Structure formats: C-alpha cells, structure tokens
Structure 1
Amino acid sequence: MTWVGVMWGVAHVRRGGLWLLDLVLPPRCPGCGAIVGTLNSFCPPCWTSLDFLGHSGCESCGIPLEAIDHGTCAGCLARPPRIARTRAAVAYGDIAGSLAIRLKYGRKIALAKAMARYMLPLVGELPADALLVPVPLNRRRIAVRGFNQSLLIAREIGRKRGVRVAPRIIRRIRPTPPLKGMSFTERQKTVAGAFALAAKADIAGRTIVLVDDVLTTGSTAEACAQTLLRGGAARVELLCWSRVVRNPIFVR
C-alpha cells in the first residue's frame, strides 16, 4: 500500500471515529445542555435570549449607541481611551454570565471554545506581527484554579486566525482583591501598579489585542493597556466574551 493510501485509510478511520463519538456524545448547547446540531452552538431558546453586540456600537469603546449621528460615544470623544478598540460578543446576562462562571469555577474548559467561536468574527484587521495577550491572573489564583480562562480563549482564537498568542508579555506583579462591588475610582486604585511587562517583552510598534472573558468597568484592561503602551506598543485593543452594558455610567 502506498503512503497516500495509508494516509487515506487513517483519515477514513478518524472520520468514522468522530461520527461514532458524535453519535454517543452529541454536541450540546453551552447554555443549557440541550442537544444541538453543531458543536459549540446554542439551542434556539438560548440563542434568542443572548444579546449579541457585534460591530454596531461605539467605534472605540464598543458600547451600544442610541440615536446619534456619529459612530463615537460622548465619553470617548471627551476622553479618548487608551484602548483603541473594544469589542464583546454578547451583553452580560444570565446565560453569558453562566458560561463565564462555569468556565472559571466549574472547570468546564470546553466552554472556552464556544466563547471563542462568537468572539472570532469581532477580530479586526491585524498586522502580521500582532499579538493576542490574555489578561493575566496572579500566580495564587492560577494555582487554585489551575488555568487562566482568558488564555484558553486566546489560544482558540489564535489557532483559528493564525495570530500568535503571547501569555507572558505582561504579568500581574501583585494580587488584587475581587473588584465586584467597588466604585470606578476604587477599582482604579486597586489595579494601579498591579501589572508589569516581562523583562524581554518584544512589543515595540506592535498591535496588542487583550483577551478577557467579562468586561465590567474596564479598569483592569485599562491598567494593562497603560503598561503595554508605556512599554512601546503602538496600539492596544480589547476582545471579550461579554460585557456589562446596563451600567448607569460606563467608565473606561
């Protein structure tokens, strides 16, 4: 048998194995667990309950806009953010939040692929030397959790788009308490000085796309962006699975 024949046989067996696996373990909705037709896709009820944000928001921060004549929100016009472009796949809600919580605390790491699938269309045009950089966790949290959920998502996006993932470019040099319940000013003070570039970080002139699971006020991402820009990055963007959009005041 020729080498081509052997490879065809291996591929045939593999396809058969995948078919059998799908028969025994059919794909399920990431939101509710119902059987669906395609891997990492949502069932109709979960799909309709998600608020997909897409590209329709502010050209800079991505927050949904209502009845204005230009593409930039008043906040970004008054104070241009360090992060040049922010995009999130969905608005934070019951199902979107459930995926993030189950990924982080339930160790359902396969959910990272589902999140990445819907984040992927929001990746803009990037230069060849662009880097995907997951928002870092402190070592203690990684030791307890066993992984950085943002890194899992970034790796899937990088694999699909052919963009290099650089998880060690920026690191969290001191632990910070959970930011939930803090005001914007308190969050800023908490994350100030919490990040630093790696000793040999090669980011001069590069576009950096930060990857995270949930965006609330954006204080952590802004602190990361400040560190990256000071280190020579030409542009910093932010890509998230979900974001809070019903905050009374969205502050970067």
Structure 2
Amino acid sequence: MIYRDTGRKLVLALKHGDRQEIAHPAGLWLSQAVADIVTPNTLIAPVPLHWLRMIKRRFNQSALLAKALSRRVDRPWSPDLLQRIRRTQSLDGLGRAERITALENAIRVHPLRRHRLIGRPVLLVDDVMTSGATLAACTRACLDAGSGPVMVVTLARVAKDA
C-alpha cells in the first residue's frame, strides 16, 4: 500500500501504537504479494532493530510481519538472521544519500545464523520502504555472507511526489 492516509495510519498503529494484531492480516496481504517469487528454499528474515531501539519499542514490527508471512506461505523465518550492530540516528527526514551513509556498516548477518542463508534465496521483510537504503544495506549483508538471491517485500511504500 501507499504510505499515506489510511496506509500511514495502519503502519504507525503497528509500529508505534502497539497494535501488534495488525501483523496477522498484513501477513495475508504480504503473502499474496510474494506468491510468485517464494520458492520452497526461501528463508524469510525481518529488517533488524538495534537492541536499544528494541528495548524502547519492546518489539520489532518487521519481525511480526515476517513471522505472519512465514506462517502464511509455510516457509522458515529467522528473526535474528540480521543484526543492526551500530545504533543509527533516526532516518526520518533524511534524503537517500544521507540514509545510505547513516547505514554504512550498521547491519550484518548474525555470525551464528550465517549457515542458514548460504546459497539460499532470502526474502527480507520491512514495514515501510522510503528510499530503499535500509533494504539495500540488508541485501548487501546477505549477499556478502553468501546468500542466494535476495528479494524484498514491505507493507507500505512512500510514494514520491510528482
């Protein structure tokens, strides 16, 4: 969905409004979006939060979405496949180049989970895609660790103004 109006309210309710139950129907929507790209060997993984943000928020909304999607498509998921090893500033209000710079060396594959992705397709799950910088950093971490192709799915996408 487009990240504005009702779509924005829905994502913000999940992310900041503690409306975790939104992940269940969202898993159905996401499963329909990826039906043609998920293979029997696909591993599903959420975009990670830094541990300090996780403590503050108490949950990772992307992990909730990934878990719901995993159940819908009957594929394994790895909630901690990726780690955000460096605390980054909030990306809100930053342009694409600033986002890319902020995420440099911030995300890696968990050393104890690397064996799960070697040669396998990985489906990354996030709540919102703005510039694609976070998903690009996650993709690079997976590919550098030896994954197969990396695909992404998000609940919402920020539309550029024309």
TM-score by length of 2: 0.93
Task: Find 1:110's aligned residue among 12, 15, 21.
Answer: 21
The letter for the 1-side match of 2:143 is L
Q: Is this contact kept in 1: 2:44–2:124, CA < 8 A?
A: yes
Higher Rg: 1
Using the alignment, how far apart are the partners of 2:61 and 2:80 within structure 1? Answer: 15
Name the counterpart of 2:160. 246
Name the counterpart of 1:121. 32
Task: Find 1:164's aligned residue among 45, 57, 76.
Answer: 76
The letter for the 2-side match of 1:130 is T
| Structure 1 unmatched ranges of 5 or more | 1-89
Name the counterpart of 1:206. 120
The letter for the 1-side match of 2:23 is A
Please give the root-mean-square deviation of Cα atoms over the aligned residues, in Å.
1.2
Task: Find 2:3's aligned residue among 92, 98, 107.
Answer: 92
Task: Find 1:143's aligned residue among 25, 30, 55.
Answer: 55
Q: Is this contact kept in 1: 2:28–2:72, CA < 8 A?
A: no
1:101 deviation in Å? Answer: 0.8
Q: Percent identity?
A: 31
Q: Which has the higher contact order (CA 8 A, sep 6+)?
A: 2
SS in 2 for 1:171: strand
Structural mapping, 1:20-59, within 5 Å: none
How many pairs are equivalent?
159
Q: Which has the higher helix share?
A: 2
SS in 2 for 1:238: strand
| Structure 2 unmatched ranges of 5 or more | none
Moved over 3 A (4+): none
Confirm or deny that 1:225 pairs with 2:139: yes
The letter for the 1-side match of 2:18 is R
1:247 deviation in Å? Answer: 4.4
The letter for the 2-side match of 1:235 is P
